[in-house]
Amino acid sequence: MQYMLIYKETAEDFALREDPATADAYWGAWSAYIGSIAQAGIMLSGNGLQPPHAGTTVRLRDGKRQVQDGPFADSKEHLGGYVIIEVPALDDALEWAARSPACARGSTEIRPVLPPPPARA
């Protein structure tokens, strides 16, 4: 079964990425964690994401496109990245999610990946 592990970090944890005093420890923890997923042979894909202020939100209202800089919702946690893994069961995904550096002060959401739709004739 494929699962997406969605890493959500606090604004304070997100800021550790850029602080010269904390960046090495921050990235070291993530590199070790992602490395262990890759070494286990269960990682299918994944990416870290830039901070929320780098994003753009698009909505369509009354047939008109509305573009807004940054995230749509104001949240105490920021989407830091994701990994798609393939493991036998949800319990295995839970084990990997709990090991994530984001879990210490943020969270890791687990979602089953939707299989492709059946082919149509």
Calculate the alpha carbon distances from 6 to 11, 69, 77, 100, 113 in Å: 16, 22, 12, 10, 12
**What is the torsional sign of CA 2, 42, 99, 11?**
negative
pLDDT at 103 over 60: yes
Percent of the chain surpassing pLDDT 70? 96
What CATH number does the domain containing 48 carry?
A: 3.30.70.1060
Does 20 fall in a domain? Answer: yes
| Tokens at 29, concatenated | 């923890």
Predicted confidence (pLDDT) per residue in 27-80, tens digit: 999 999 999 999 999 999 999 998 888 888 888 999 999 888 876 556 677 889
In a domain, 73, yes or no: yes
Q: How many domains does the chain have?
A: 1
Residue 60 falls within a domain, yes or no? yes
What is the C-alpha to C-alpha distance for residues 54 and 100, in angstroms, rounded to an integer?
A: 23
Which residue range is the domain that position 62 belongs to? 2-112
- CA-derived radius of gyration, the chain: 17
